[in-house]
Structures are given as C-alpha cells and as structure tokens.
Structure 1
Amino acid sequence: MKQKVTSFKSEYRIMGLSLSVFLLLSLVVLIATYLEVLPKGMVGAFPLMIIVGALLGEIGNHLPIIKDYFGGGPIVIIFGSAALVMYGVFPKYATDIMTNFMTGEGFLDFYIAALITGSILGMNRELLIKAAVRYLPAILGGVVVAISFVGILGAIIGYGAKEAILYIGIPIMGGGMGAGAVPLAKIFGSTLQKDPKEMLSIMVPAVALGNSLAIVVGGLLDKLGKVKPSLTGNGKLMSINEDVIVEKQEDNPIDYKLMAIGLLISGIFFLWGNIIGRFFPAIHPYAWMIISVAAVKALGIMPRKYEVACFQWFQFVMGNLTGVLLVGIGVAYTNLAQVIDAMTLQYLLLVGATVIGAALGSGVVGKLVGFYPIEASITAGLCMANMGGTGDVAVLSASKRMELMPFAQISSRLGGAFIMILASVILKLIL
C-alpha cells in the first residue's frame, strides 16, 4: 500500500491532475472546439482557456533559458496563444468566443478588481504605512530616473520621447502583465482614443524583456556587492538602526463564504472607482479604485474578517485564473506580427535604459533615506521592473537575497498601483 501512495505522489501532474486525466479532459475540449459545439460565454471560454494556459505554461516552465531569463510559463502562454491565433490553429469562432469573454464580457476587469483589492487589503497595515514613509521614495526615485532615461534616449535615437515613456518605460515599471501592461493599455486606449490591442502588442515584449534584464542585473548587483562590500547589507535593507516590520503570514483556513464576500467587495470597489471616475475623469477609474482601497487599508476602517475575505478571493483568482487571463491577453490583445516588428535595436536599447535607470535611481534615493544601495536597487528598482510575483522570485534568487521578499512584494503590489495612477496623470499632462 505504501508503495502505491508513493507512486501516486511522484506521478507527473498538471494543474494537480495526473497526466492521463489532464489529457482526457483536453481531448474533450479539443473535440468540442473543432466540432464547433463550444458554447458562447464563459461556459465555453473557461475550459478551452484553462487547458491551453495549463499546457503552454507547463512547456514554458521547463524550457531552458526561457524559464530562467524570460519569465517562463507566462511569456510562453501569451506568445503561444497569439501564435495559435496568427497561424489559424484556433477556429475563428473559438477565437471570437475567447476575445469576447475577455473584452465584451469583462473577464479582464473581473480579474483586475480581485487583484488590486485583495493584494492591498491583504498587506500588513503597519508595513503599508511604513512603506509610504521611506520605501516609496526609493520606488519613486527608480521610476523618475527610469522614465527620464528612456524618454531622453527615445528622443536622441529618434523613437520619440513620449512614445518611449508611454509604451516602454511605464509598462516595464508597471508590475507585470495582469496588473501592469493590460490595465495600462486600457487606460491609454480610453484616454488616447486608440485600440488597446495595438498598444499592448508594443508593451508585452517590453515587459518580457524588462523582466529578463532585471534578473540579469540582479545577479550583477550581487557580484558588485562582493567587490564593494560598503554598498550592501547582504540581504539587510536598512543601514540605520530601526526596527523593520516583517509581513507575517496569518493562518486563516480557506472559507468559501468568505471568498464570496471577497468577490462582492472587489466588485464594489471596482464600481466605486467608476463612480468617482464619472465625476473626476482626469484620473482613470482603475486609479481611483487603487486610491480607495489603499485609503481604506491605511485608515484601518475595514474589519479584518472582510480584508481576509478579499485576500482569499484574490489568492483563488491569481492561483487558478491567471493562466486564463494570459491566454486571453495572447488571443485578444497580442498581435504577433506587430510584436515581431517592434523588436528592433532601438527597442532593446530603450528597455535597457528603463531597467538600468530603475536600479540606479532606487539605489541613489535608497541611500539617502537610510537603505543599502544594492538592496534598494534590487527591491525598489528591479522588483518594479520585473513581472510581479514570479519576477520577484527570479530577481531575488539571482541576487541571492530571498529574505527581501516582503519589500519586493510592496514593489509588486503598491508600485504597480502607483504606476497606474502616475500613467493617468502623465497622459493628462502630455495631451
């Protein structure tokens, strides 16, 4: 009996399913797709997008080089899905179902509402307040230098300062795909009266390459710390004597009723953002939602039970539906031909200017506010320029500073939200 249990546990699994079961489920989905009996709406979109996302994600997470330097699964899901559309592997009606599910039926907004509400409300309140006092200036320093570098270089090499800032600099600093490039494309689209698909096709490769370069720079900063020990705390962020608040993991068992409450509250915050945006249209509703959630958290006016509800709902959505979102990005928002056309020497130089500017700016400002420059560059700079949670792990692993994860998470959670607010303001200023 023990041998059977051991064999079961060691069996290769996808999505927690044995390979044989996963393949059987995939076969049913493929038959339905190619017989053109896939229903419209989420009942048809979900099975197809879950299966495609899981399969492409598994491939990406095991491809050498891709998994270490280009984001692994998420990147392969996006570009793989886009390739399946470009080469006609998906029947047109199936592509239409997935596209409508993402855009017309609002799955993208549904995902973003859960992400923003749960990630902020799930933070330690004291850590959030302390971050605003000292850590956020280091983030701001990285953003300012990164945006300045890419804008100046864009003007010098003929790409255009405005285009470099909007389509390369801001998306790289925006916190990844789901929380960064995708909502930014929608913000830009509504403000500039342009198709978000076109802009996202430019942003996606920037985010992917920015993530890769951030990992490489993280490894180089670790080596710099060995050469110049005075620049690093060897994993310790603060260079002055002050208690550091660590975000502790609470032991809250999964409660399905709580998750339903979290779904409702995240939706309400999304509606609230739209209500304020109706009266104050200068700032995008996403930004108003972020400001509202952060204010509620900082003021401590929401009962902890409901914060946990939002966090558990966010964890469920992020853990189970991110693959669906990435497939949707590939199918509905990524024009592979435009992506290929965008990959020029100019483009690569601008991506490099953004990432290096982020690390340099955060390091300098971090030093001024009492941080070790290398640790500040890694957390407040590179963890802004990478692809969110998976990027945080990769950068901190490359720099051998995994103990800085709480600060990396601040960059991913609050930094990306800050960029969306900043993008709304910048758009109004340059128009």
Structure 2
Amino acid sequence: MSDDWVGHVIWWHVYPLGFTGAEPAAVAAGEVHHRLGHLEAWLDHLIGLGCNGLALGPVFASGTHGYDTVDHLRIDPRLGDDGDFDALVAACRQRGIRILLDGVFNHTGRDFPPVRAALDGTGPREWVRWSREYPYLFEGHDRLITLDHTSPPVRDFVVEVMCHWLERGADGWRLDAAYAVDPEFWAAVLPRVRERFPHAWFVGEMIHGDYGDYVKRSGLDSVTQYELWKAIWSSLNDRNLFELAWALDRHRAWTAGFLPLTFLGNHDVTRIADKVTDSRHLGHAVALLFFLPGVPSVYYGDELGLHGVKEDRPGGDDAVRPPMPATPGDGDTSLYQRLIGIRRRNPWLADARISTEGLTNETLAVIAEGRAGQRLSLLLNLGDEPFVHGRPVPPHSWTIE
C-alpha cells in the first residue's frame, strides 16, 4: 500500500492536450512544441485552491487524443520533450505538489511499433489480443488495439514504463480503462513496480463493476468512484436524496478497505455546472466532494464554474477539454477554497466513517466521525422549506456543523 500522503492529497486534474491548446493530431516528425510550461503558470492557482496534487491526462506521444499511445517513453511533441517534463516536475516539487500520470495500458494506437508489427505480420503476435485472425478493438474503436495482458512481453513493458516515469518524478499512476483489464494483470505487474517504488499510488479507472472485489484482486490502491459521481448529480436533479443515501451506504463499505478517487468532473463527462440543472444546488455537490471520505479530484475549470457538455460524436469531448489562458485571472473560486479549507482543517475526513439521518426526498444529514472521536455533519436541503436538524437549514442550501 502507498504512504499516508495519499490521505492528504487533493488533485487538480488537467487534460494537457486540451489545456495547452495542442493540435488535434500528431505533428510532423522532428517538430516539437514546448507547451508544458503553460501548466507551470497555473501551479500557484492549484495551491491557492488548497490542492496539492497535479493529475495529468495523457502526456505521451500519441496519434490524436492521447489515449492512442504510440510511444510510452516519449513526451508528446505537441506538449514538449523530456526537458519540459523535468521542468514541470521541478516546479511542482518546489511547491510540494504530487504528480499523477495517466497510463494507457489496456490498448494502444495502431502505430505503437510492437502492435503495428503484429498487425502487419512482421513481428510477434503476442503483443495483441486476438479473436482468431482479428485484433480486439477497444470498445469498437478501429484505431485502438487491445493488448494481450497474459503476454510476458506486455507485462514486462508496462513495468518498464511505470518505473521509468516514477524514476523521473511521478508519484503514481491513473490506469486508464482498468475496468477492461483482467485484475490479475495488475496483480502480476504492480508488485514488481512497488519493489522499486514502494510509496507510489495506483488508481484504476472503474466505471462499473464491483469496486471492492477489483481492488482486492488487482492489488490497486484505489479506483474512480463513478457510482458516487452519478448519485450526486442525479439525486440533486431529481430531488431524490434516497438515491444518494443508497450510494453513500456502498461508499462507506468501500472506504473501510480503501480510499476511492472521488470527483465531480473529468475529461470524459459533462461539466458539473451543466450536470446539476438547478444552479442553487451546485454548492451541495461541491460540499459532498470535500466532506466525504476518499481522495478528491477537481477537474480544471470546475472551480471557475466552466460549462461544457459532452456529446456523442467525433470531437464531442472538446467542450469539456478547453484551452486555458496564459494565467488564471481573477475568477471566483471562493466556494472551492472554502470547502477545501474545511477539508484541510479536518484531515480525518479522508477516512471518516459516515452515516445518514433525516432522510427525505429533499433533506439529508450526512454524519462523519473520525477515529479519535471527531464529528461533523453536512446538512443538505433541496426543498422550498427550512430543514431543521439541530439547527435550521434554509431552503436550497447546505451547511457543515
């Protein structure tokens, strides 16, 4: 398991290709655009929010959106080179900021050399997962070829990549599409990485499935809490806090064994400012993110109230992956600062035990209790009348006491 630093980290999650305004497809051979420095100008903004972790989307050479990797050991030339990465690591270290990298090891782009050789018959087939003579495509995407996770060369390669970038300054890995990978693959790979980097943290992208069972079988430290994400915005929109309470029961069970990565937004989903249809309840969502146990992540721009709707079409992710200006400006981040401040003053919330009281369609009290007897309550009121639970909570408001 990873060190105690994980219980104190709050990630600021960035999709670098979008954030920096990079080209939508790979640039010509030999062409390099030094854009990672654009992120450095925002590190003080990260710190000012109260965050202390930078979770990076794909930064390795790819054909288009970053998840079609073609070279896991090279920084995407649209973002820069090794020197730019080293400079970003140094700037983060100066500020005490942890770094999480995005590892796409379920599949690669067609032009990843071992995959390309396997497909054209000039190299060993063992890199690719096959269905007779046909390669498995990830979720039907013709350009994304699924790797053979039973293959020793694939396992050795993933170990090599992880160790290479941990050695270069990363603190951990988000493992893309972990839900599509047999957990035994990670169980074989991660111990070899932890031999060299025992303090690293590994979080798998899980959308559905049994989170607890996957963590146990894979040896991962954490998984993404999509179930809670959905319950938050859906229960607020429907004024059905029974849905949230049900999800919180499951969340409580999981946090007894590991700390899930909690979030309101990421590069794959509609912005929370659009997901929550009644803006009066946006604060309720943010309060839940920082009150509940887990490892919180803030998707860049959510703290500034950015809007963006994901659409099911080519380029449909662009609205939630926008370029950002050279400097943060003076946008209002007070809601996030206030709630992250509460989290920082009460670090025991990271692994608190939670329970619920006062449950109706429109009201809920979430009680958090720490191991040393600490206690706080988050009171939610979605209704048009005051909610009294020890103290009155005005309509369409929340409070922590």
For the superposition of Structure 1 and Structure 2, which TM-score range results when normalised by the shorter chain?
A: under 0.3
Q: TM-score scaled by structure 2?
A: 0.24
Query: Which structure carries more relative contact order (alpha carbon 8 Å, separation 6+)?
Result: 1
Q: TM-score scaled by structure 1?
A: 0.23
Structure in which a larger fraction of residues adopt helix: 1
Structure in which a larger fraction of residues adopt strand: 2
